[in-house]
């Protein structure tokens, strides 16, 4: 846990319901790459893209935070190390953004759209992988490119400070 606090946090957002295998693979790969970069994965802690990405991170030595809508930490998917019960329902979508340095959106429906919009309100850079087409999203063509972009953004930010 040394310097745990200094680790970069990458938010991963996307649909919580059934997702197709292509989307699952994208999310898993993003989680895996986050782990390999020694960053923390932050997500909403439930199923679908959140679970696939968390699994990818956990099976590759990563650390995962899941910010849940309900009152119970055991609602989290099995790949969440640090479940946080928010108790505020889908308002917690903003909490996922507030707790990420950069955000990657994968697929997703209306919940993901709230998170994309909150990212843009709070000036968190957001990278899109096969997701909503909203002005302000930085498009990536594959997980590798998404992660590359994410870390370039973080590097630029820290050099600006």
CB of 104 to its own copies, least distance (A): 18
Q: Which is nearer to its own copies, 50 or 65 (CB)?
A: 65
Angle between helices 49-58 and 21-36 (to 10 degrees): 40
Residues that bind its own copies (CB under 8 A): 1, 4-5, 63, 65, 67, 71-73, 76, 80-91, 94-95, 98-99, 110-111, 113-114, 116-118, 120-122, 134, 136
Q: Which is nearer to its own copies, 82 or 138 (CB)?
A: 82
The contacts of residue 121 (CB under 8 Å, 6+ apart) are: none
Q: Which is nearer to its own copies, 49 or 80 (CB)?
A: 80
Judge contact between 85 and 72, C-beta under 8 A: yes
CB of 136 to its own copies, least distance (A): 8
Nearest to 5 by CA among 35, 39, 54: 39
CB of 128 to its own copies, least distance (A): 14
Structure tokens at 131: 């997701």
CA distance 76 to 44: 9
Q: Which is nearer to its own copies, 23 or 93 (CB)?
A: 93
User: What proportions of the chain, in percent to the nearest 5, are helix, strand and coil?
Assistant: 45, 20, 35
CB of 137 to its own copies, least distance (A): 11
CB of 75 to its own copies, least distance (A): 11
CB atoms within 10 A of CB 109: 13
Q: Which is nearer to its own copies, 8 or 153 (CB)?
A: 8
């Amino acid at each position: 846990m040394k310097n745990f606090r200094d680790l970069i946090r990458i938010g991963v957002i996307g649909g919580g319901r059934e997702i197709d295998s292509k989307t699952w693979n994208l999310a898993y790969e993003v989680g895996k790459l986050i782990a390999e970069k020694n960053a923390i994965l932050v997500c909403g802690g439930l199923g679908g893209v959140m679970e696939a990405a968390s699994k990818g991170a956990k099976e590759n030595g990563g650390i995962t935070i899941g910010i849940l809508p309900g009152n119970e930490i055991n609602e989290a998917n099995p790949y969440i190390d640090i479940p946080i019960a928010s108790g505020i329902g889908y308002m917690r979508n903003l909490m996922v953004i507030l707790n990420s340095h950069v955000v990657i959106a994968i697929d997703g429906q209306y919940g993901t759209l709230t998170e994309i919009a909150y990212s843009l309100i709070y000036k968190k850079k957001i990278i899109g992988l096969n997701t909503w087409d909203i002005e302000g999203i930085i498009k990536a063509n594959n997980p590798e490119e998404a992660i590359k972009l994410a870390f370039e953004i973080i590097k630029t930010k820290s050099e600006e400070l």
